[in-house]
Amino acid sequence: MAAHPSGERFTVELEKGTNWWGAFVIGLAGTILVIGLAGYALLALGGVAITLFIVLTLVGVFLCFCLAELAAAFPDRAGGLPSYAFETFKPLGTGVAEHIGGLSSWAYWLGWFTVAPINAYLAALYITDLFGIPLGGTYGPISDKFGSAWSVGVIVTAAVILLVVFIPGWLGIRLGATFATILGIGSIVPLVLIIILPFFKPSTIDFGRVQLGTLPDGVTGSWQLIVGWAFIFVWTVWAMEAAACYIGECREPARDAKIAMTAEGLFGLFVYITLPLMLLAVLGTAGFAALGSGDANVVFLGYVDAIFGANEFWRWFIGLALVAALLLSVLNALIGASRGLWQNSVDGVLPKIFSKTNKHGSPSTAIILSLVASLLVLLVGSPLQIYVFSNMGYLFALAVAMVGFGVFRWKRDDFPRPVKMPRIMGPFAILFGVLGLILWIVGGYYAADYAVGSGYRWLFWVGLILLALYVPLHLWRRLENKRDHTPTPHHMEH
């Protein structure tokens, strides 16, 4: 470990400052992303959305169980899902593992950091509405086909959110976990309450409105519709894996991995299925059509109004709960994916600058990169466009992780591991991973048609170009190694 006068240092280990609860509660940032997806999915797909939620969520739970084994097997690796690829693909060759691990971490960062500007923007919309903050002038879009118009008041509020949430992430995992606990309680308790509210007035519930194979009136079914929306779904319903990012910073990672990932998977299973189910049972496709929007604030207000009638209390309750949930996801987006960049820098794959940590034990350069990139992407002003190209990174990392788990069980089944899942999970992981890669290509190509509109398939290519930036980043690291006459860490003797 090399120290610097500023307090920054290059280190091969982050601070061990949390436990399973810290990993679980920060990881809830992935689970609560369902609040942004549910309304749009039900508006567009009706009961078919529930079917997609069930099928894809079950695969997400499967992924969490895979990660429980990997996190316990490699307890000192930070960064979660993408960082394990560096180890799981080693039976196929060190070079293969190096590049798949590096590309996965870069892809994962592209998928997760964008959550910060998207949800900071949405939180700013709700805050300016609740508190009557002046919107000011309107600017944008960047071009006719890129970005959307945004108001100064919303963008400034969103930028302040990013800067404020950055602080606990910078000050270390202990403060980050404490901050996440407050936000988690402030969002999860209302979320669970929203799910059970209709049971206080049973007459508002009609499960006959839930037709699992029925699309809304006027929607024509097609395989492109299903795969396009499935691509959009996984950005949310597999995001409960986020808890794995922090297992390497738990004081007892081998023990905490199983608890955190099992809890995250099971809670995600409950929320991802019951929340959209209750929304549709209360509102029905006709109710969603009447609302005319899938925006979370509009949908949840319409939901509680249908149960109890319009009330100012519920306006504030829903608004503040959504803001808390969005802030939690911003926190995880800034600090979670940065740990994958740090880990792969330590592995010798990405530039050395990413392995810098500050005196609080946080990956300083990687977090700063996430903040700066978030502030720049914020100017796009179109969450849905960002959504598509960022998921080209995220789904790639998820699919590769499942293939990697299958390879690990196939080729290194004798590797010592405190947690060992059933053998049958190995072949299924490879199957789900390959299907995920097919969805990544096919669904990614068609997703923009449904998330944004016609004429935006070029966002698919933007995602691929951003992924390809891994090549110059890795070449940068090779030049550093050549300049410093140092081998990469995984070639050193331990």
pLDDT band at 491 (very low <50, low <70, confident <90, very high): low
Confidence class of residue 488 from pLDDT cuts 50, 70 and 90? low
Q: Rounded CA gap, 318 and 383, in Å?
A: 21
Give the integer Cα–Cα distance in Å for 383 and 443. 18
260-283 pLDDT per residue, tens:
889 999 999 999 999 999 999 999
Sign of CA dihedral 258, 14, 349, 475: positive
Distance of alpha carbon 79 from alpha carbon 58, whole angstroms: 23
Quick check: 439 pLDDT over 50? yes
Kindly indicate the confidence band of residue 153, based on its pLDDT and cuts at 50, 70 and 90.
very high
Over 80: is that where the pLDDT of 428 sits? yes
pLDDT at 229: 96
The three-state DSSP-derived secondary structure of the chain is: CEECCCCCEECCCCCCCECHHHHHHHHHHHHCCHHHHHHHHHHHHCHHHHHHHHHHHHHHHHHHHHHHHHHHHCCCCCCCHHHHHHHHCHHHCHHHHHHHHHHHHHHHHHHHHCHHHHHHHHHHHHHHHHHCCCCCCEECCCECCECCCEEHHHHHHHHHHHHHHHHHHHCCHHHHHHHHHHHHHHHHHHHHHHHHHHHHCHHHCCHHHCCCCCCCCCCCCCHHHHHHHHHHHHHHHCHHHHHHHHHHHECCHHHHHHHHHHHHHHHHHHHHHHHHHHHHHHHHHHHHHHHCCCCHHHHHHHHHHHHHCCCHHHHHHHHHHHHHHHHHHHHHHHHHHHHHHHHHHHCCCCCHHHHEECCCCCCHHHHHHHHHHHHHHHCCCCHHHHHHHHHHHHHHHHHHHHHHHHHHHHHCCCCCCCCCCCCCHHHHHHHHHHHHHHHHHHHHHHHHHHHCCCCCCHHHHHHHHHHHCHHHHHHHHHHHHHHHCCCCHHHCCC
What was the pLDDT predicted at 372? 95
Highest mean pLDDT: which range of 7-11, 14-18, 93-97: 93-97
Position 494 scores a pLDDT of 38
Q: What is the pLDDT of residue 1?
A: 43
**pLDDT tens digit sequence for 353-384:** 998 988 888 888 999 999 999 999 888 877 88
> What is the CA 309 to chain-centroid distance, rounded?
34
Q: Pairing relation of β-strands 356-357 and 150-151?
A: unpaired
pLDDT in tens, 110-148: 998 999 998 999 999 999 989 998 888 888 777 777 777
Mean predicted confidence (pLDDT) in 145-160: 88
State the pLDDT at residue 393: 94
Nearest to 42 by CA among 33, 31, 51: 51
For the cut 90, the answer to whether the pLDDT of residue 179 exceeds it is no
Residue 117's Cβ-side half-sphere holds a number of Cα atoms within 13 Å equal to 24
Report how far residue 64's alpha carbon sits from residue 261's, in angstroms, rounded to the nearest whole number.
6
Distance of CA 389 to the CA centre of its chain: 14
Q: How far apart are CA 67 and CA 419, in angstroms?
A: 10
Cα 14 → chain centroid: 21
Average pLDDT, the chain: 88
Q: What is the pLDDT of residue 184?
A: 81
pLDDT at 453 exceeding the cut of 60 = yes
Sketch out the chain's domains with CATH numbers: 14-484 (1.20.1740.10)
The separation between CA 126 and the C-alpha centre of its own chain, rounded to angstroms, equals 21
Confidence of residue 14 (pLDDT cuts 50, 70, 90): low
| Cα 339–Cα 35–Cα 371 angle in degrees, nearest 5 | 30
Q: Please tell me the distance from the alpha carbon of residue 195 to that of residue 278, in angstroms, as a whole number.
A: 6
Q: What is the pLDDT of residues 297-350, one digit of tens each?
A: 899 999 999 998 888 898 899 999 999 989 988 988 888 878 889 988 988 899
CA distances from 316 to 37, 167, 292 (A): 21, 26, 21
Q: pLDDT per residue over 223-233, tens digit each? A: 999 999 999 99
